[in-house]
Amino acid sequence: GAGVSQSPRYKVTKRGQDVALRCDPISGHVSLYWYRQALGQGPEFLTYFNYEAQQDKSGLPNDRFSAERPEGSISTLTIQRTEQRDSAMYRCASSLFGGFSSGNTIYFGEGSWLTVV
Amino acid sequence: DQQVKQNSPSLSVQEGRISILNCDYTNSMFDYFLWYKKYPAEGPTFLISISSIKDKNEDGRFTVFLNKSAKHLSLHIVPSQPGDSAVYFCAATGRSSNTGKLIFGQGTTLQVKP
């Protein structure tokens, strides 16, 4: 697609349930990122992939959170045993290659709103 | 510990005037800084960036200034237009750390009045 696509756009789940959020990056983009954004805050880094390799998962809050990108394209962020504090906007982003430079823009998706009730 | 801070939650300016958005950081390892703009119901979009080897970068109406000694950067928009009304996030990273991590500020909501 033309941009980073995320699904579902909105998810309401009961506390204790598992959720899976999907990200389809821009075609050909090597690097994929997951961020979380609470209301009134900036995005907070969760994890980062180059191809299928998870390069950095230091931002994942605890072991209930995991992410994968098995074929180096689509990625899934999974939250197990959800808690109310997990409620937030989860944003995926992608870039042509890793690293930051003026020639390598990170493109964000519209995000998945997760509400845990 | 908020490593990147945008202390002004909101800013209102008149169309045609200058908008100045400020950002402070604490980590001296940061060497690359970016500004993102976000409209409601959309993801943040990249606006402009600056490397720590520079103190100014300009792109059309947008200029970013970096003061490394003060650990401060600012985004100037001249002239401001109503379409610039959005939330602006500054972000920072240490490129030498070879990580995909951007540290974002809390954002400043800019309103440009016609």
Express each pLDDT in B76-102 by its tens digit. Answer: 999 999 999 999 999 999 876 566 789
Check: CB of residue B101 under 8 Å from CB of residue B2: no
- Residue that wins the pLDDT comparison between B1 and B25: B25
Q: What tens digit of pLDDT does each residue of B66-75 get?
A: 999 999 999 9
pLDDT tens track of chain A, all 117 residues? 579 999 999 999 999 999 999 999 999 999 999 999 998 899 999 999 999 999 999 999 999 999 999 999 999 999 999 999 999 999 999 999 887 776 778 999 999 999 999
Cis check: omega of the bond before A8, within 30 degrees of 0: yes
CB of B89 less than 8 A from some CB of A: yes
- Residue A2: the pLDDT is 77
CB contact under 8 A, A93 and B45: no
- Residue B12: the pLDDT is 98
E strands in chain B: 4-5, 10-14, 19-25, 32-38, 45-51, 56-59, 62-67, 72-77, 86-93, 103-104, 108-113
The pairing of strands B108-113 and B10-14 is parallel
DSSP tag of B19: E
Average model confidence (pLDDT) for chain B? Answer: 94
Residues of B in contact with A5 (CB under 8 A): none
Residues 47-76, chain A, touching B (beta carbon < 8 A): 48, 50, 55-56, 58-59
Taking the alpha carbons at both ends of chain B, their separation in whole angstroms is: 38
